Amino acid sequence: MKVIKFGGTSVGSTKGLKQVRQIVESINEPVIVVVSAFSGITDKLIKTSNLASIGDKAYQEVYEEMVITHKNIIEELFEDTKSRELLIDNVSQLLNELNDIFQGIFLIKDLSPKTLDTVLSYGERISSKVVTQLIEGAQRFDSRSFIKTEKKHAKNFIDKDLTTRLIRDTFNPLPKIGVVPGFISSDKQTGDVTNLGRGGSDYTAAMIAAALDANCLEIWTDVDGFMTADPHVINSAYTIEELSYVEATELCNFGAKVIYPPTIYPVFHKNIPIRVRNTFNLESKGTVIKQDITGSKSHKAIKGI
Ligand code: ADP
Ligand code: ASP
Ligand code: MG
């Protein structure tokens, strides 16, 4: 089996979502698909919360933008009226809940960390419903029930042993195609919704891959793999064919946001390779991150800046 993760850059548009469907439907082994919120939604959830918390009515406009983004994507993606209406009802229910929460924040002008975490969970909760409906035979699993965090010094950390056990229970038997919202989790004591930090969907996917002894973890994004620098900043950046776990960890820690740094350790520990692929360019082989890298031409002393 393998675990594949699609970031916001892949699921932020109808074009990207059609690619996601094509990629998943071409896989001939059990697969767990981890998805981020649609592109830009997590930023907007934060912006809306902040505006509401200072009593600025402009929060309503940003909220409406999010409603329109979701509804447009659903309208464009689903031709069958029945499944479209069903999904719109389902998603509208979540968006209405979200509106009630924003109204509450606006009225009392207060935004606690717990409330913000609740708000942030809606991005992935909604995107995972859309992706499940999009892929024939897919079954959705809620990561809040198996990715468990504990609070230490006011920060949330994954309880790795508990999470590993719960992942194994949840995916036994293994579904043919499972869809999981990335990023979100819940507190192991209170059950309150928490999250793994910005970019955390990569980490969700890595925890699942490690717990289930996947043969591969694939991170699908909008560039041709792990590159020598951010290609959106440095035009001449090129794809690195192979990286060791240690090299990749260093580059991530120094700001290569293509992979969220905590992602590497769980799969490194199990010697599971990570492939970084471009959702919009299936021709490109991307990058493989693994233990022993061969002396290929990309094996140079300096891998990236
Ligand atoms: P996703 O939504 O798929 O998680 P991210 O925005 O988190 O996407 O990460 C992909 C982005 O990371 C790329 O679009 C690119 O701009 C940026 N990036 C920064 N450094 C690198 C690097 N060394 N190689 C590839 N991409 C990089
Ligand atoms: N949606 C979250 C974020 O934007 C998590 C992720 O995309 O990995 O940070
Ligand atoms: Mg990311």
Q: Which residues of the chain have pLDDT under 70?
A: 295-305
pLDDT at 80: 86
pLDDT at 173: 97
Q: For residue 205, which ligand has an atom nearest its CA?
A: 2
Query: Would the CB of 221 count as within 6 Å of ligand 2?
Result: no
Query: Would the CB of 42 count as within 6 Å of ligand 2?
Result: yes
Angle subtended at Cα 31 by Cα 128 and Cα 262, rounded to the nearest 5 degrees: 70
Query: Would the CB of 181 count as within 6 Å of ligand 2?
Result: no
Alpha-carbon distance values, 254 to 230, 245, 258, 259, 261 (Å) = 12, 14, 11, 11, 9
pLDDT at 146: 98
* Strand spans (E) along the chain: 2-6, 31-35, 139-140, 148-152, 155-158, 177-181, 184-187, 193-195, 216-221, 242-244, 274-278, 287-290
Report the number of secondary-structure helices (H) and strands (E) in the chain: 10, 12
User: Which residue has the least CA distance to atom 6 on ligand 2?
Assistant: 199
pLDDT at 305: 58
Could you give the angle at which helices 59-77 and 113-134 cross, rounded to 10 degrees? 10
Pick from 118, 73, 71: nearest CA to 98: 118
The alpha-carbon radius of gyration of the chain (Å, integer) is 19
The residue count for the chain: 305
Burial of residue 90 (number of CB atoms within 10 Å: 0-12, 13-18, 19+): middle
Query: Would the CB of 225 count as within 6 Å of ligand 2?
Result: no
Pocket test for ligand 2, best of 33, 42, 116 (most atoms within 8 A of CB): 42
pTM across the whole model: 0.96
Tokens of 185: 């989790």
pLDDT at 295: 60
CA of 272 to the centre of ligand 2 (A): 23
CA of 241 to the centre of ligand 2 (A): 25
Pairwise CA distance, residues 101 & 48, whole Å: 11
CA of 260 to the centre of ligand 3 (A): 6
Query: Would the CB of 198 count as within 6 Å of ligand 2?
Result: yes
Long-range contacts of 83-90 (CB under 8 A, 24+ apart): 83/133, 86/133, 87/129, 87/130, 87/133, 90/129
Digit-coded pLDDT (tens) for 238-261: 999 999 999 999 999 988 999 999
Residue given tokens 């946001």 in the structure block: 257
Query: Would the CB of 193 count as within 6 Å of ligand 1?
Result: no
124 touches 39 (CB < 8 A):
no
Tokens of 275: 């492939």
pLDDT at 303: 64
Alpha-carbon distance values, 244 to 94, 220, 252, 287, 292 (Å) = 41, 19, 12, 11, 6
Could you give the angle at which helices 41-53 and 81-108 cross, rounded to 10 degrees? 30
Amino acid at 186: S
CA of 197, closest atom in ligand 2: 9
